Amino acid sequence: MPSSHPILCGSIAGRPGRFGVAMHNAAYRAMGLDFAYVAFGTEDTGGAVAAMRALGIRGLGVTMPHKQRIMAYLDRIDETAWAIGAVNTVVNDDGVLTGHNVDWIGAVRAFREKMDLAGKVAAVVGAGGGARAIIYGLNEAGVRVSVFNRSIDNGRALAKSMGAVFGGPPEALEAAGPFDLIAHATPVGFGDDTGCLIPEAALTRGVVVFDAVPVPVETELLRTAAARGCVAIPGVRMQLQQAAYQFRLYTGREPDLAVLEAALSTAMAAG
């Protein structure tokens, strides 16, 4: 069996980020685990999976553009990843590679930091992979979901396949409400983009507003939501909760969330 010292975990992405590296390595150090975590930037999905097998890499987080196409290279796909149609975590058990999707767990845990979910109503904006994972999680948590999306056909298809209602384009969100939770899951607002798809009037006091966009931490949506008295949840909370879950899958140990949080804050401050 291929192996390494320390045991290697990591992530593959077209554009590798720093947050996973900071969080996982800090938790390994805090717990005295003989593990190391590296973020790989690659477009070569098949090559990355072959490397995982050849080098005995224990676990890999998977982001764009690999989430769907990696499925063809794995030995097993768990039920949830099939249902969501994407893999964001691969675990290597003695050479058997299993694909999981824990995006939904990260999202639901991030929501539960601020609200009880059962019996609530939510609006999800977007119809891509992120929206699909969030809706899966909300379904599991007993939340009724309405989907809003720019392209009517994509929005309708996603809503139908997930047992949700299609509410129309994002501009229709205010008239369709009120909602307990509004979850935004499109790339609008990412990086230098200062756009915001959610009508301001839908952001009423007390509504929980989540933006899946991880960078910047405070998007225009979250700034506006906070200014209007909403409860704002940044996308990095989803990343943090996902990292905690992945850590458990790779090491079998529960990380201290405070250690992950401190490492994430330091990494974010470093830019």
152-171 burial string, b = 16+ CB within 10 Å, else e? eebbeebbeebebebbbebe
| 190 is a site residue for ligand NAP (CB under 6 A) | yes
Which of these, 226, 182, 230, lies nearest to 205 by C-alpha position?
230
Of 143, 139, 134, the residue nearest 115 (C-alpha): 143
Judged by beta carbon, residue 50 or residue 165, the one nearer ligand NAP is 165
Q: 3-state secondary structure string, 167-186? A: EECHHHHHHHCCCCEEEECC
Helices 103-112 & 129-140 angle (0-180, nearest 10): 60
177 lines the binding site for ligand NAP (CB under 6 A): no
Bridge partners (DSSP) listed for residue 211: 184, 234
Q: Residue from 7, 8, 26, 127 that binds ligand NAP (CB under 6 A)?
A: 127
Nearer residue to ligand NAP within complex by CB, 7 or 103: 103
Residue 129 interacting with ligand NAP (CB under 6 A)? yes
Candidates 21, 91, 141, 185: give the one binding ligand NAP (CB under 6 A): 185
Give the whole-angstrom CA distance, residue 160 versus residue 72: 25
In angstroms, the CA 49 to CA 56 distance is 10
Which of 214, 230, 243, 267 binds ligand NAP (CB under 6 A)? It is: 214
188 touches ligand NAP (CB under 6 A): yes
Residue among 27 and 107 whose Cβ is closer to ligand NAP: 107
Torsion region of 42: left, alpha or beta (phi above 0 gives left; psi -120 to 50 gives alpha)? beta
* 160 catalytic per annotation: no
Give the residue with the Cβ less far from ligand NAP, 35 or 245. 245
Binding mask 21-60 for ligand NAP (x = CB under 6 A): ----------------------------------------
Considering only the stretches 73-81, 183-191, 202-210, 252-260, report the one whose residues sit in contact with ligand NAP under the rule CB under 6 A. 183-191
Q: Which is nearer to ligand NAP, 151 or 161 (CB)?
A: 151
Collect all residues with Cβ–Cβ distance below 8 Å to 15 and sequence separation of at least 6. Answer: 41
Q: Is 197 in the site for ligand NAP (CB under 6 A)?
A: yes
| Burial category of 62 from C-beta neighbours within 10 Å (exposed 0-12, middle 13-18, buried 19 and up) | buried
**What count of other Cβ atoms lies within 10 Å of the Cβ of residue 96?**
11
Beta partners for residue 91, in sequence order: 59, 98
Q: Does 103 bind ligand NAP (CB under 6 A)?
A: yes
- Cβ atoms within 10 Å of 229's Cβ, excluding its own: 11
Q: Kindly tell me which residue out of 10, 61, 99, 126 binds ligand NAP, with binding defined by CB under 6 A.
A: 126
Binding-site string for ligand NAP from residue 131 to residue 170, where x marks contact by CB under 6 A and - marks none = x-----------------xxx--x----------------
Binding of residue 233 to ligand NAP (CB under 6 A): no
Which residues of this chain interact with ligand NAP, rule CB under 6 A?
A: 103, 106, 126-131, 149-151, 154, 185-188, 190, 197, 212-214, 235, 238-239, 242
What are the residue numbers of the active site? 67
